A and B are shown apart, each in its own frame.
Chain A
Amino acid sequence: MKRNVNIWTDIDKISILIYLLMIFAGWFNIYAAVYDEEHTRIFDISQRYGKQFIWIVAAIVIAILVMIIDSRFYYFFAYPIYGGTLLMLILVLFLGTEINGAKSWFEIGSLNLQPSEFSKVATALALSFYLGSRKRDLTSLTTFLIATGIIMFPALLIAAQPDLGTTVVFLSLFLVMFREGMSPYVFTTGVLLILLFFLSLLVNNTILSVSLILIATMVTWLMTRKTRLAVTGLGIIVAAGIVIYLINYFLIKEMSLNFIILVAVLVSGIAYGIYFFYRKAAGLIIIYLFLAGSLIFVNLVGFSMNTLLKPHQKERVEILLGFKSDPQGTGYNVNQSMISIGSGGFSGKGYLQGTQTKFKFVPAQSTDFIFCTIGEEWGFLGSLVVIGLYLGLLLRLIFLAERQRSDFSRIYGYGVVAVLFIHIVINIGMTIGLVPVIGIPLPFLSYGGSSLWGFTILLFIFLRLDASRTEYLI
């Protein structure tokens, strides 16, 4: 069945408006970031803002092309596009040009293309096709593993470049799987593991372990509202802990405090097990398993960081994750970027009036750290507008996704939401010291052709699917 639609009138105007606002805001801010009294013409193509204007014009052409193509193309060619992208990702490892230590770029004449930018689109398409073409049940292990494979295969190829940032972006697609029925425990566990990984590196592991036990006690109390139960549970662990501490103190003398806490929690598991068995308290079992699992994980991370890695390797991991500052490295960048943003105050210093970003204190000001320029020159109001626009776009896209009649389109829509969301969170988060410095661009705002075109294609395929949602039932 086919109904005639006019994609130019049916296309979602709100999304287009936000998109256009964003790309031009990006252009003006790149101009501000690179601004130099000696090159003031915004169309000067020897400068980044001049080039960005060309990328923007090209992006609009690309957007129109994406809209012209029949929406069924994206459905039927989802796998071929995915396969082609994988091939590119393999080829770039051998034929790519190394820039900043990563083999991520194809150099075609004067144009540099980054296949990993387009692989996000391809993977979202492939995942949508796999989950949406036939009704799949994500609670089945096979389906879950295949879907995970579709996400992780390109992610690992990109990790080999190595491009940690883009690899992390792929993990956001698990949000799509959550929407489509993946067990919330998988999702929660994943988020928890990532959180614990960073916490175990950042916080003293003993304090972390104790905090986890207290949180588990709190959750138990919140779930059951039985003070005696929660206190007894805690008491068992404390008692077991004291006994093991004494045994270690007089006999073994080898165990660290972390390890004593871990063993105490595991040993008290026997007591809980008996209780849970008689009371059939499934919810409490889950709390306990989360607690025990977290503690094991924290100890594993601590062990592998301190024992398996040599000091210089550990330092490299810490610098890579942004926990440790080396004078010229990532820690320095975060300090400088926070100074820039903080100095903007409530209403900013005014357009082109920023001082911090102009003195090249922050490297990559026009790419990964473009938000510094916005924060410094436009202040908190600017930050509010930018985040507001992003939030508006994301919520609008969720609304659009939910009104799709095909599973494929809906799932793809959530893919767009997830990819944009993680880019925004990580990019802005790192400039304000909330997230380790992972170099990924801010959608539509950062300088760069590949990333702008990648996001444009990602978004407009969905807008194309949405515009023709009544056209076909795919």
Chain B
Amino acid sequence: MKNTFVNRKYIIMAIIILVSLVLLTRLFFIQVIDKSYRFSAENNVLRAVTQYPARGLIYDRNGKLMVYNQAAYDLMVIPAQTTSLDTASFCELLNITRDYFRERIKSARQYSRRAPSIFLRQISAETYARFQEKMFLYPGFYVQPRTLRKYSKPVGAHLLGYVSEVDEAVIKNDPYYKMGDYIGKSGIEEAYEKELRGKKGVKIFLVDVHSRIKGSYANGRFDTAAIQGTDIITGIDLELQEYGERLMQNKTGSIVAIEPSTGEVLALVSAPAYNPELLVGRIRSENYAKLQSDTTLPLFNRALMASYPPGSTFKPINGLIALQENVIVPSTTFGCNNGYLFVGCHSHSSPLSLKYGISNSCNAYFCQVFRRILENSQYSSVADAFNKWREYLTEFGFGTKLGTDFVNDLPGFIPTSGYYDKYYGQNRWKALTIISLAIGQGEIGTTPLQMANMTAAIANRGYYYSPHVVKSIGSTGAPAERFTVKHVINIDSLNFEQIIEGMAEAVNGGAGSTARSAAIKDIIVCGKTGTAQNPHGKDHSVFVAFAPKDDPKIAIAVYVENAGFGATYAAPVASLMIEKYLKGTVTNKYQEQRILELKLEAR
């Protein structure tokens, strides 16, 4: 048998021997010649320490700092590196109980023996300093610097949201988050989490058996730097926000103020409020539980989530729809004899035209208007006319989400014709059946934010921008495309002028005008009072307004719960807010004092 090429076995053997020698040479170089790997000769180890980026700062519209960061220190433990230690002095040093010590070590061991776990959260700077001196006694323990939120003023808790540790569900869904990381919850912190959080980095340190850091490993060749979070500039006026919260102290309700020309939220108050510092750091979970069980619902953001019947503040909308549908003209007058059918009214001069119908807030006038809208012969049925009416409301942003950058605003409720068909039967209902809608009562629910937005749309004479709290991300970045989209309402601006005349008259007119308590010297405020029916107790006082009349800078909605008629409390609050924003100071000290001293129990 021929066995050709037999000499090639030498080539193959040569290759194998040569490659083996290459491997051995390399190993000899790494293991014997190169001393840089030799750190472990003294049993040193490497420790990968996560570099947490500072969270982005939050500013108000004038560049005033609202939220910043403070240093905090988490005491970490790597169970496998710990040695037996003097538990008593260790616990004393950290001011913890032996039970806590045993409990934490046990759960850290269960999580992982090699990976770090948090042993003690957010130790104080003093404890940190004391511990650092003794750290060499406690191998396996080290301090991980973190940052916590800090607030320049104890306001805006609902707006800003808070930061807490990620839970299991988040860790599962997003690989960025690891155990012990922080994440924004509710408010701006949640809505802009991706921008605010930045990017984590890692540093690898050489650590000796005494837990002492001997230096950066390989001159930081394997480290990645943390990238700081992006700052956020809000449209909030911090002073106005603070003032609003002061005015609403000891009351239940909300204030929403919007800049009509941009849709930027100037202030958003929900009362009762809470100090945002309560939800920072170690005290967070305890305080959160307290706030959650508080019967006055301080965690509940009324401005976005409470749905009230709008009451008489809804009358301008019905007036606008009637004008646009040509069922009335500004000079159309209706008589009022203390009401219309079963809808009562207060006493005032009669008959009234549209302007005075608004300024006197005549129920009879708007019942007639609403009948004309629904009984319009242009439509084949009341249901069709109703659908058209509802279409206008949707254009104003009622019954739908406004496309804001809040994470939990609610759409409110505007019934559909189908809703009444189901309730009364098809064609079994007419204008009179649902006449309470004429004066903003009945099956209708709107949020304070929606009412402020409606007011902004009126101030703009027919359009609005989706309300949003963030003005820019970083110093230049626009928050989102959608906030530059103009939502135009299909109602002529001339019709808006007619309604605005009525709203100006309500505040600045003579006898019979319902909102004179909102008047400000030198500024023409346009407003409308309202009373939201409260089945549980005293009615809620509501007021919407914008100012100045010809160049609106602020549109506002104020709700004071259980305060009765709109002019009594909501209108003065709105007036004070407007003056504060436009003038910087408040001249009507009497009114201010009256509001500050007012205490109303919730519900």
A residues neighboring B (CB under 8 Å): 36, 38, 135, 175, 178-181, 325, 327, 332, 335, 338-339, 341-346, 349, 355-356, 358-361, 375-376, 379-380, 383-384, 387, 390-391, 394-395, 398, 401-402, 405, 407, 410, 414, 417, 421, 425, 428-429, 432, 434
Residues of A within 8 A of B40 (CB): 339, 343, 349, 355-356, 376
Contact present for A379 and B23 (CB under 8 Å): no
| A332-B222, A355-B43 known; A429+B23 contact, CB < 8 A | yes
Stretch at the interface among B24-32, B229-237, B250-258, B574-582: B24-32
Contact present for A402 and B9 (CB under 8 Å): yes
Asked if B129 is an interface residue, CB under 8 A from chain A, the answer is no
| A339-B46, A341-B31, A342-B34 known; A434+B12 contact, CB < 8 A | no
| A342-B38, A356-B45, A391-B20 known; A179+B8 contact, CB < 8 A | yes
Would you list 16 pairs from A and B whose C-beta atoms are within 8 A, ordered by A residue?
A: A135-B2, A175-B15, A179-B9, A325-B222, A341-B27, A342-B37, A343-B38, A344-B31, A355-B40, A355-B45, A360-B115, A380-B27, A387-B23, A398-B9, A398-B12, A434-B22
* Ranked 9 nearest A-B pairs via Cβ: A342-B37, A343-B40, A380-B31, A342-B30, A383-B27, A391-B20, A360-B114, A181-B5, A343-B37
Q: Of A342, A375, A429, which is within 8 A of B36 by CB?
A: A342
Q: How far is the CA of A410 from the CA of B113 in the complex (A)?
A: 51
Nearest Cβ in chain B — how far from A437, in angstroms? 16
Asked if B13 is an interface residue, CB under 8 A from chain A, the answer is yes
Q: How far is the CA of A81 from the CA of B2 in the complex (A)?
A: 28
Contact present for A359 and B80 (CB under 8 Å): yes
* Chain A-chain B contacts (Cβ-Cβ < 8 Å), number: 116
| A36-B113, A356-B40, A359-B114 known; A178+B31 contact, CB < 8 A | no
Q: Report B254-274 residues with CB < 8 Å from chain A CB.
A: none
Nearest Cβ in chain A — how far from B320, in angstroms? 53
Asked if B125 is an interface residue, CB under 8 A from chain A, the answer is no
Extra contacts, 17 of them, besides A359-B114, A395-B13, A395-B16 (Cβ < 8 A), are A175-B12, A178-B12, A179-B8, A179-B9, A181-B4, A325-B222, A332-B222, A335-B222, A338-B30, A339-B46, A343-B39, A345-B31, A380-B31, A384-B27, A387-B24, A398-B12, A407-B1
Closest to B109 in A: A38
Map CB proximity to A onto B24-68 as digits: 1 under 8 Å, 0 otherwise: 101110111010111111011110000000000000000000000
Residues of A within 8 A of B3 (CB): 410
Contact present for A421 and B45 (CB under 8 Å): no
Q: How far is the CA of A359 from the CA of B140 in the complex (A)?
A: 12
Closest to B43 in A: A355
Residues of A within 8 A of B26 (CB): 432, 434
Residues of B within 8 A of A332 (CB): 222
Nearest Cβ in chain B — how far from A426, in angstroms? 11
Q: How far is the CA of A278 from the CA of B524 in the complex (A)?
A: 105
Closest to B28 in A: A380
Contact present for B31 and A346 (CB under 8 Å): yes
Q: How far is the CA of A361 from the CA of B80 in the complex (A)?
A: 14
Nearest Cβ in chain A — how far from B34, in angstroms? 6
Residues of A within 8 A of B31 (CB): 341-342, 344-346, 375, 379-380, 383
Q: How far is the CA of A344 from the CA of B38 in the complex (A)?
A: 8
Closest to B4 in A: A181
Contact present for A425 and B27 (CB under 8 Å): no
Contact present for B1 and A405 (CB under 8 Å): yes
Residues of A within 8 A of B24 (CB): 383-384, 387
Residues of A within 8 A of B43 (CB): 349, 355
Q: Of A355, A359, A380, which is within 8 A of B32 by CB?
A: A380
Closest to B12 in A: A179
Interface residues contributed by chain B, number (CB under 8 Å): 43
Closest to A394 in B: B16
Nearest Cβ in chain B — how far from A429, in angstroms? 7
Contact present for B5 and A180 (CB under 8 Å): yes
Contact present for B27 and A432 (CB under 8 Å): yes
Closest to B26 in A: A432
Q: Of B30, B38, B80, B224, which is within 8 A of A432 by CB?
A: B30
Residues of B within 8 A of A398 (CB): 9, 12-13, 16
Closest to B223 in A: A327
Contact present for B8 and A359 (CB under 8 Å): no
Contact present for A327 and B46 (CB under 8 Å): no
Residues of A within 8 A of B96 (CB): none
Nearest Cβ in chain A — how far from B433, in angstroms? 62
Asked if B6 is an interface residue, CB under 8 A from chain A, the answer is yes
In this complex, which of A355, A384, A395 has the most chain B Cβ atoms within 10 angstroms of its Cβ?
Answer: A355
Q: Of A180, A181, A341, A391, which is within 8 A of B30 by CB?
A: A341
Nearest Cβ in chain B — how far from A376, in angstroms? 8
Q: How far is the CA of A349 from the CA of B41 in the complex (A)?
A: 8
Asked if B202 is an interface residue, CB under 8 A from chain A, the answer is yes
Nearest Cβ in chain A — how far from B559, in angstroms? 51
Residues of B within 8 A of A375 (CB): 27, 31
Residues of A within 8 A of B91 (CB): none
Residues of A within 8 A of B34 (CB): 342
Q: How far is the CA of A405 from the CA of B202 in the complex (A)?
A: 61
Q: How far is the CA of A262 from the CA of B13 in the complex (A)?
A: 36
Residues of A within 8 A of B4 (CB): 181
Q: How far is the CA of A428 from the CA of B36 in the complex (A)?
A: 20
Q: How far is the CA of A387 from the CA of B24 in the complex (A)?
A: 8
Contact present for B23 and A345 (CB under 8 Å): no
Residues of A within 8 A of B6 (CB): 402
In this complex, which of B23, B26, B46 has the most chain A Cβ atoms within 10 angstroms of its Cβ?
Answer: B23
Nearest Cβ in chain A — how far from B140, in angstroms? 12
Q: How far is the CA of A36 from the CA of B113 in the complex (A)?
A: 9
Q: How far is the CA of A344 from the CA of B27 in the complex (A)?
A: 10
Map CB proximity to A onto B223-248 as digits: 1 under 8 Å, 0 otherwise: 01000000000000000000000000
Nearest Cβ in chain A — how far from B144, in angstroms? 17
Contact present for A359 and B45 (CB under 8 Å): yes
| A341-B27, A380-B27, A384-B24 known; A421+B16 contact, CB < 8 A | yes
Q: How far is the CA of A379 from the CA of B40 in the complex (A)?
A: 12
| A380-B27, A432-B30 known; A391+B5 contact, CB < 8 A | no
Residues of A within 8 A of B32 (CB): 345-346, 380
Nearest Cβ in chain B — how far from A151, in angstroms? 17
Nearest Cβ in chain B — how far from A204, in angstroms? 21
Closest to A175 in B: B12
In this complex, which of A343, A361, A376, A414 has the most chain B Cβ atoms within 10 angstroms of its Cβ?
Answer: A343
Residues of B within 8 A of A346 (CB): 31-32
Asked if B17 is an interface residue, CB under 8 A from chain A, the answer is yes
Residues of A within 8 A of B494 (CB): none
Q: Of A181, A345, A360, which is within 8 A of B41 by CB?
A: A345
Closest to B20 in A: A391
Closest to A179 in B: B8
Closest to A421 in B: B16
Residues of B within 8 A of A395 (CB): 13, 16-17
Residues of B within 8 A of A414 (CB): 12
Asked if B19 is an interface residue, CB under 8 A from chain A, the answer is yes
Q: How far is the CA of A376 from the CA of B46 in the complex (A)?
A: 14
| A36-B113, A180-B5, A434-B22 known; A339+B37 contact, CB < 8 A | yes
Q: Report B77-116 residues with CB < 8 Å from chain A CB.
A: 80, 113-115
